[in-house]
Chains A and B, each alone.
Chain A
Amino acid sequence: MSATLIILIVVIVVVVGFVILTYNGLVQRRLRVDEAFSQISVQLKRRWDLIPNLVNAVKGYMDFEKDVLTKVTDARANAVAAGAQGPAAQAQAENALTGTLRSLFAVVENYPTLKANENVLSLQEQLTTTENQIGFARQHYNATVLDFNTGIATFPAALLAGPLGFTKREFFEAEPEAQAVPQVNLG
């Protein structure tokens, strides 16, 4: 075997190896993005399941605030329905639900016996942690998207990303409604 042939073979092996490693790396990152996205739905569903318990726990104490409770229940139903209508509609419905829950807890502040109720406290903590988990799940999704987008944008993987069919993913961005502070009506 001549030296040129050996060198050629080595070069081909190195290039093929590089392509394989790059492809596998990008696939792995893309899968992480998909997983992170579905994890957000997991957290949203947790919240849907918690809300009926919360409403039941406070119902007996809050005769005068029935409309607040109704708003929460309705917003939850909307959010569940919006799950099937695509990400934009779902995000809007979920943000509306967050607003009604904040109003509910602001109102609970006015009822000392309710505030101190262990059941309510425990549910409050559960809802707090659920809200946090939704936020963190979205944050983690953005982190995986950043990782993936960086992977396909940086040299030398950038050379292969297009031909191999890898395209940028979108970050999760808060809806404009989410940036407005929810109005709490205690009247």
Chain B
Amino acid sequence: MAASTTFYSEQSANRRNSILLVLLVCLFLGVLGGAIGYALTGSRAGALAAILIAVVVGGLSAVGSYFVGDKLVLAASSAKPVSEEQAPQLYNVIRELTIAAGIPMPAVYIIQDNAMNAFATGRDPQHSSVAITTGLLNVMNREELQGVLGHELSHVRNFDIRFSLLVGVLVGGVALLSSFFLRYTFWFGGGRRSNNNDNGGGGALQLIVFVIAIILAILAPIFTRLVQLAVSRQREYLADASSVELTRNPHGLESALAKLAGDTTVMKEANPATQHLYFHNPLMKLGASEGSLFSTHPPLVARINRLRQLTGEAPLPPSEASSIGAAS
């Protein structure tokens, strides 16, 4: 028999992993910033200043997107608002979830697209929006729809928008630091200023740190991007578990994911900037490097198997799993 878990323990594990990953990025930012600052100025104060500058600049741009971000995302995906009269069952399904979650109703949008997908955006439950494609609405039954929307609303409930913003600031800070440093080094002949504050051995140390800093600066953006994607995948699992917490019905979501596996349509209006917000990656044809470290979403089969664990069912047998994974 497969191991049985509860959605509570799933949620704890996911939250813990997210935080550990964020700490990893913070640590990396600190090390990188310190190395660069020291390499350029030969002093610890310089290291500190470099970190602060990168975080502040990255932070300002992130804060801007935090407040107007959801409107931009909705516009970019051609989502149109829909009223309760036009889509009563959709509104009912969402309303039931908001009662279970104790949050206010989000604004509801529909996207005209045959691809099956949905997303939620908003900095907190009081300012949230949910968008669903017509493709999804036509295919899903009530409990599947509720599973998908529960997942989306949980992104809002768990403050994932805020969380991914935080991670984005850190990763952006790392990218900024790296690119500034590399540009400065290679275009302006390096920043090795002989600094007489240190003793005679300081110059050699500075050179070593300089080399380390260059290596870090080249690797940093890739590394932190990988961490960012790992965090995104954890939050997706968390949203799945939170959806089950609301509906108490893992089969609805599981069935929705299985239906998704048959969908090979790529969304018309999706773009790389917003792909992480969607229920499943809108730009990726299923099966193609789905399980790679570079995807924002976990593979469908893995998500289905985790849901099956909640009811003590065995994972999908390999024949079914490969047919889901190979759909393309």
Contact = CB atoms under 8 A, between A and B. Distances in A.
Nearest to B247: A136
Given A129-B95, A132-B96, A140 B102 contact: yes
A139 interface: yes
B97 to A, nearest CB: 8
B243 to A, nearest CB: 13
Contacts of A144: 102
B167 to A, nearest CB: 27
A177 interface: no
A133 B89 contact: no
B104 interface: no
Question: A interface, by DSSP: helix, strand, loop or mixed?
Answer: helix
B107 interface: no
Nearest to B100: A136
Contacts of B246: 136
Contacts of B219: none
B92 A137 contact: no
B102 A32 contact: yes
B88 A122 contact: yes
A128 to B, nearest CB: 8
A139 B248 contact: yes
Contacts of B101: 140
B182 to A, nearest CB: 47
Chain A residues touching B, range: 10 to 19
Interface string A145-187: 0000000000000000000000000000000000000000000
B60 interface: no
A43 B95 CA distance: 12
B102 A133 contact: no
Contacts of B96: 129, 132-133, 136
Contacts of B100: 136, 139-140, 143
A139 B246 CA distance: 9
Contacts of B89: 125, 129
A26 interface: no
Identify which of B93, B100, B248 gathers the most chain A CB atoms within 10 Å of its CB: B100
A133 B99 contact: yes
A91 to B, nearest CB: 18
Interface string B75-105: 0000000000000110011011101111000
B99 A137 contact: yes
B99 A39 contact: yes
Nearest to A139: B100
21 contacts: A32-B102, A39-B99, A43-B99, A122-B88, A125-B88, A125-B89, A125-B92, A128-B92, A129-B93, A129-B95, A132-B92, A133-B95, A133-B96, A136-B96, A136-B100, A136-B246, A139-B248, A140-B100, A140-B101, A140-B102, A143-B100
Given A43-B99, A129-B95, A140-B102, 17 more contacts: A36-B102, A122-B88, A125-B89, A125-B92, A129-B89, A129-B92, A129-B93, A132-B92, A132-B96, A133-B96, A136-B96, A139-B100, A140-B100, A140-B101, A143-B100, A143-B102, A144-B102
Interface of A: 32, 36, 39, 43, 122, 125-126, 128-129, 132-133, 136-137, 139-140, 143-144
**6 smallest A-B Cβ distances: which pairs?**
A129-B92, A136-B100, A136-B99, A132-B96, A136-B96, A140-B100
